[in-house]
């Protein structure tokens, strides 16, 4: 393990709620999570200010997706200890549906588009219960490809278009923390650029985002800060620019 670089900038003036010993808008504190008896997330702690983009990076098997699922209270992996706080709410005491209502929106790697429903029906279903987020017509303005395909069965769209729908569906809820798991995987470069544009617009809208992405350089260029995991543990926490400029660090933990 290397000497960890920690970015301890003061919280912004809006981040003034007491969050389990910190004043950050979001924090995960000493999270330990398991798949059965397999110890996957080994004491992960991370913090994010309101409106920041955090790149959560590491090699395959480092525990990135498991950490996102733990934050979203997905049930698997099982979080056995630690605390998760969002905007003053104790997320670690919630079930997955309660965490979603509290504002955590997970866009999983497999997207989970609902078969048999059109694009529009997928978005309507996301808003079937309060609290609602972005208006559907606003989503169509931000995702013009989806507007063109609003009557099309969603699972018949391309992978990139389904990824856009998965993100749009999360934004249709009143999301405070957006968790993006491998949003660029398998997509053509032109579609990756479109997803990057969307993430930048999300950031401009003030939505806090954690992005897990094997295309580490692309994620770092979008992010304010980066956390690197290795074997389920945090080995770096600092500015995204630091990782971009440190070839030895990238080689050691990201193999790039």
Instruction: Give the DSSP letter string of 157-188.
Output: S-HHHHHHHHHHHHHTB--SEEEEESTTTT--
Structure token digits, residue 108: 């999983």
pTM of the model: 0.88
Q: What tens-digit pLDDT sequence spans the chain (256 residues)?
A: 333 333 333 333 333 333 344 457 999 999 999 999 999 999 999 999 999 999 999 999 999 999 999 999 998 999 999 999 999 999 999 999 999 999 999 999 999 999 999 999 999 999 998 899 999 999 999 999 999 999 999 999 999 999 999 999 999 999 999 999 999 988 888 888 888 999 899 999 999 999 999 999 999 999 999 999 999 999 999 999 999 999 999 999 998 8
Cα-only R_g, the chain: 18
């Amino acid at each position: 393990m290397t000497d960890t670089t920690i970015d301890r900038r003061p919280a912004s003036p809006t981040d003034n709620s007491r969050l389990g010993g910190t004043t950050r808008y979001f924090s995960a504190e000493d999270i330990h999570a398991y798949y059965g008896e397999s110890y996957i997330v080994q004491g992960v702690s991370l913090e994010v200010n309101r409106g920041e983009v955090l790149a959560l990076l590491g090699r395959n098997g480092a525990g990135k997706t498991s950490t996102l699922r733990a934050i979203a209270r997905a049930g698997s992996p099982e979080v056995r200890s630690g605390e998760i706080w969002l905007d003053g709410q104790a997320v670690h005491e919630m079930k997955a549906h309660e965490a979603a209502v509290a504002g955590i929106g997970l866009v999983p790697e497999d997207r989970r588009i609902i078969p048999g429903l059109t694009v529009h029906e997928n978005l309507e279903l996301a808003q079937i219960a309060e609290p609602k987020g972005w208006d559907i017509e606003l989503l169509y303005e931000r995702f013009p490809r989806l507007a063109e395909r609003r009557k099309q069965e969603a699972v018949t769209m391309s992978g990139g278009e389904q990824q856009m729908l998965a993100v749009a569906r999360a934004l249709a809820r009143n999301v405070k923390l957006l968790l993006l798991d491998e949003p660029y995987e398998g997509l053509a470069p032109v579609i990756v650029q479109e997803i990057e544009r969307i993430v930048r617009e999300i950031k401009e809208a003030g939505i806090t985002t954690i992005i897990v992405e094997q295309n580490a350089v692309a994620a770092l260029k979008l992010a304010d800060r980066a956390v690197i995991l290795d074997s389920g543990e945090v080995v770096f926490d600092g500015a995204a620019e630091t990782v971009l400029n440190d070839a030895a660090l990238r080689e050691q933990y990201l193999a790039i």
